[in-house]
Amino acid sequence: MCNKFFYSVTITQKMGGCSSQSCHRCFFEYETERMIVVKSKVVGSVFRLIQFLILFYVIGYACVVQKSYQETDSVISSVTTKVKGTGFTNTSDLGARVWDVADYNIPPQGESSFFVLTNMIVTPNQTQSTCPELPNQSTICMSDSDCLEGSNDVRGNGIQTGLCMNYSETVKTCEVLSWCPLEIDINLPEHALLVAAEDFTVLIKNSVTYPKFNFHKRNILPDVNSSYLKQCKFNRKTDPDCPIFRLKDMVSEAEEDFQTMAIRGGVLGIMIDWSCDLDWPEHYCGPKYSFRRLDNKIPENNVAPGYNFRFAKYYKTTDGRETRTLIKAYGIRFDVIVFGTAGKFNMVPTIVNVGAALTFLSLVNAVCNWFLLTCTKKRDYYSKHKFTYLDNTDDNAGEPLGETTYGTR
């Protein structure tokens, strides 16, 4: 067993030189290297440490973690969703009614997303008529002269008629031509209207392809049949391959409370990761699901929280007059985000990375030579023996040159 640390220094020696009369002999000359072995624990430790770090980087990080021996391709994906579930509400505006998917899934088809209505502000029986504008700094008036006929405020609800009307017993506002009565959207219910929405389910159908490798797969696995889909529900431990998800379970995995989020709405991301190592059999490549809230819910910046939009349902009375029910809908928008990268062994990146590793290893000697000639106490001594200059006038030019060992105490 070796009890010394060795570091070898390569020295290039060239005997003599080429004259103009003997240039033809230079063509057949061969330069060789002389090896000096330095017995030094410090230099030897630096030498082995750098070698170990390079090998650890190449094998541990580049090969095992980054899989740099593989050719890669990015996923191309398509997503369709289908929501199911029914709920019941009983309010003064809408009365008792049952909600099915056609009522709360708005719009019924989205681009890799779907919306489930959970709360609302309803303004029924609106007609095209005139009424006092909602009071604010620009609409409060004292007389008709304060109102400009034909004025259209983009933040208002209609076009002013030029009249100043009583909004209440103490406040007057400019009259507008609009859908009246106007919506008052400050009376949001304290609890979500559609409480049963937490038990609704969604079927997510996701097809992916890696065109470079001609690889195609769905999140509905080949051994899944229709009877299984009718009864399964995603569970990370007991049923991780089921593509049907309960809404409350997804929100809970995002560390949110469904009923709290349902009051003002929000945006939830359904992340599907298709990162695959195609050097393994195909059944090892499958979707990995995760869930995260995407909209801003920072307490210090709670202006315009949640997610909402408006839509209307139009009717005609018996006398042919058009009316509508305006609904300001609050709910949760689910965005399905698919991502992933697939890798497969390829000779070209393998050769490139092996070459890079050999290049790194070749730099070890240069680093240790610098350390030997710059940072050690005997740098002048090593420098003297590292560089040797010989020519034809040297009396010992014909003596053989072999391996030389220098030690340090």
* Residue 246 annotated as lining a ligand binding site: no
Instruction: Quote the crossing angle between the two packed helices 347-374 and 379-386, to the nearest 10°.
Output: 120
d(CA 291, CA 335): 10
For residue 98, what are its two tokens? 């049952």
d(CA 246, CA 38): 70
* Residue 236 annotated as lining a ligand binding site: no
* Residue 309 annotated as lining a ligand binding site: yes
Cis peptide before 124 (omega within 30 of 0): no
Distance of CA 295 to the CA centre of its chain: 15
* Residue 321 annotated as lining a ligand binding site: no
Give the residue among 262, 271, 270 at the shortest CA–CA distance from 332.
262
Count CB atoms within 10 A of the CB of residue 198.
Answer: 22
DSSP state of 148: -
For residue 187, what are its two tokens? 């009376």
For residue 295, what are its two tokens? 């909209």
Residues 219-228: contacts with CB under 8 Å, at least 24 apart: 219/243, 219/272, 219/286, 219/287, 221/286
d(CA 162, CA 150): 7
* Residue 328 annotated as lining a ligand binding site: yes
Which residues have CB under 8 Å from 1's CB, separation 6+?
none
* Residue 214 annotated as lining a ligand binding site: no
* Residue 84 annotated as lining a ligand binding site: yes
* Residue 83 annotated as lining a ligand binding site: yes
The one-letter code for the residue type at 127 is T
List binding-site positions.
82-84, 201, 308-310, 328
- Please state the residue numbers annotated as binding site for ATP: 82-84, 201, 308-310, 328
